[in-house]
Homo-oligomer: A and B are copies of this chain.
Amino acid sequence: MVQIPEPAKERLLHLMRILEKNGSGPVTSGQVEGLTGWSSCTIRKDISYLGGDCGGNAVGSSCGYNPASLIPAIKKALGLDRCRRFCVVGLGRLGSAYLNFRPVELEEFELVAGFDINVNRVEIVKSPVPLYPAYKMANLIPRFFIEAAFLCVPEDAAQTAAEKLVSAGIRGILNFAPVVLTVPPEVAVRNVYVVDELRALSIRLST
């Protein structure tokens, strides 16, 4: 795979989102510039990382970028072209909501299981995928080839749950608990801190 710098990866991900939301028509680098603030030069440079057929030739910036060829090229370059399996850990209200989370883009991701430390909850929560008690994570995460987890446990249980996931071989955690997790460097973590988002919104209300 081509070595793409991290900031370019983030921009390509965002560009893919714009292309997906734009429908089937071509998108010009000028339009992308208007939506993102990146210069046309930056956008062309980022797209050049995708290799020949998506650069300035077949889908050049003069006639706009063609979503039909550019989206699959971005997916391939970013490693999003194969389905990844994930699980939900913690089946309280938020975790239960994510058991039923099915946006169209989620064909890239397959939810395969839910886990909770509370066996009673495992039995009563309604779910489209099988639910298991948390002590089975060590066995089932490798057996089901689960790579990532939505961590939806309470704040005070998050670090312990993360450690159990790591020792079960999880490679990525999407952390919803308002806690800074300590995990080995090879495990990827993304945080969804709703309070921080609310605060960031609040700051903008003050100005």
Contacts and interface: CB of A to CB of B under 8 A. Distances in A.
Interface of A: 1, 9-10, 13-14, 17-18, 21, 35, 78-80, 84, 86, 92-94, 96-98, 100-101, 103, 105-106, 108-109, 147-148, 155, 171-174, 178-180, 188-190, 192-207
12 contacts: A14-B196, A21-B179, A78-B206, A79-B203, A80-B199, A98-B194, A109-B198, A172-B205, A173-B201, A174-B198, A188-B204, A192-B197
Contacts of A109: 198, 202
Contacts of A1: 206
Contacts of A202: 78-80, 84, 108-109, 148, 172
Nearest to A178: B103
A99 to B, nearest CB: 8
Given A1-B206, A78-B206, A200 B10 contact: yes
A200 B103 contact: no
How many copies are assembled?
2
Contact of A205 (B93, B171, B193): B171
Contacts of A100: 93
B195 A192 contact: no
Interface core residue of A93, A106, A202 (most chain B CB under 10 Å): A202
A17 B194 contact: no
A14 to B, nearest CB: 8
Contact of A200 (B13, B147, B194, B204): B13
B147 A195 contact: no
B21 A203 contact: no
B80 A13 contact: no
Given A10-B200, A109-B198, A205 B80 contact: no
Contacts of A178: 103, 105
